Amino acid sequence: MKILIACFSQTGNTEQIARAVQQELSGDHQVDLEKIEEVDAAGLASYELVFVDDSLSGRTLNGRRVLSYDEFRLRDAPSRAICIAISDSRTRQRLAERCENEGVPCFSVSAENVCILDDVQIGEGAFLAPFVTLTSNIRIGRHFHANLYSYVEHDCVIGDFVTFAPAVHCNGNVVIDDHAYLGSGCILRQGRPGEPLTVGRSAIVGMGAVVTESVPPGATVVGNPARPLK
């Protein structure tokens, strides 16, 4: 009987996630399995990787079966864990809360070439894509998503369910609140000790925006320099 390792996905990114986690199982990625009971230190032979997508149940993607959530939850296995690879932060939170309520632990996925330096703390359920860099003295909350080539510089604080699209440049002394979304290629100016640049709760920073001033909660900013979208 095998331990079930699953990845929540959604139509439109399922195959991309399948490739990423399949690479993980071949050694190109690292998975945090601390919360999974009865881990077999001899290798991954005791694990079965599946994907969870109610709309695609019954299909096979990249050689892995797709189950509905109920099929995953009720399948006979000594233990199970899941990674929530969905970009919408509210959906991610809803699914994380459902898993927590039903006793299904979440694990983190990190590409082998992710660079993490000194004193970096990351909550559960992170998804760190290839070429992500996290430097020093950083605090990151639960279910953080950082896409390709994004970086977080020193002395930053990032909340829960924050999403970085590819190539986000988050410079030092920045505070990002829960559920913020940062678009591809945006740049956040460095703050100052005691006077950080802030991105408020549920704010959206548009693709390619250059953020030179703090962004209020719920605001959407675009352009160079970034200004509220009208």
pLDDT on residue 34: 41
Kind and range of the H or E run holding 91: helix 89-101
Pairing relation of β-strands 151-152 and 169-170?
parallel
The confidence score (pLDDT) of residue 5 equals 63
Q: 225: buried, middle or exposed (CB in 10 Å: 19+, 13-18, 0-12)? A: exposed
Q: Does residue 212 or residue 106 have the better pLDDT?
A: 212
Domain with 185 in it: what CATH number? 2.160.10.10
What residues make up the domain containing 13?
3-108
* pLDDT given for residue 100 in this prediction: 93
Mean of pLDDT values over 60-66? 83
pLDDT band at 230 (very low <50, low <70, confident <90, very high): confident
**Tally of domains in the chain:** 2
Tell me which H or E stretch contains 47. Answer: strand 47-52
DSSP 138: E
Sequence-separated (6 or more) residues with CB below 8 Å from residue 206: 183, 186, 220, 221, 222, 223, 226, 229
Same domain for 12 and 68: yes
Mean pLDDT of 117-144: 96
Active site residues: 154
What gap in Å lies between CA 78 and CA 66, rounded to an integer?
A: 19
**In the predicted structure, residue 35 carries a pLDDT above the cut 90:** no
Of 56, 80, 108, which residue is a domain's last? 108
Residue 135 and residue 159 share a domain? yes
Structure confidence at residue 56 (pLDDT): 85
Contact 113, 95 (CB under 8 A): no
| pLDDT at residue 88, rounded to an integer | 94
Q: Is residue 230 part of a domain?
A: no
Provide the pLDDT for residue 41: 38
**Domain-terminating residue out of 53, 88, 108:** 108
3-class DSSP state for residue 172?
coil
In a domain, 227, yes or no: no
Strands 64-67 and 60-61: antiparallel
- CB-based contact 164:187 (threshold 8 Å): no
Query: What burial class does residue 21 get, using C-beta atoms within 10 Å of its C-beta: 0-12 exposed, 13-18 middle, 19+ buried?
Result: buried
Residue 164 lies in a domain: yes
Do both 135 and 91 map to the same domain?
Answer: no
Whole-number Å distance between alpha carbons of 110 and 153: 18
Last residue of a domain, which of 108, 128, 153?
108
Q: Cis peptide before 225, with omega less than 30 degrees from 0?
A: yes
Res. 19 pLDDT band, cuts 50 70 90? low
**Nearest to 10, CA basis, from 123, 92, 77:** 92
**CATH code of the domain covering residue 79:** 3.40.50.20
pLDDT, position 162: 98
Rounded-to-integer distance, Cα 138 and Cα 153, Å = 8
- pLDDT tens per residue across span 163-177: 999 999 999 999 999
219 near 203, Cβ under 8 Å?
yes
* Same domain, residue pair 211 and 136: yes
How do beta strands 138-140 and 115-116 pair?
unpaired
Q: Check pLDDT > 80 for residue 109.
A: yes
172 and 203 share a domain? Answer: yes
Mean pLDDT, rounded, of the chain:
85
Answer yes or no: do 162 and 103 share one domain. Answer: no
Specify whether 104 is located in the same domain as 123.
no
203-217: average pLDDT: 98
Instruction: For residue 216, give the amino acid letter.
Output: P
Q: Give the model confidence (pLDDT) of 46-62 as tens digits.
A: 678 888 888 888 898 77
Supply the pTM of this predicted model. Answer: 0.84
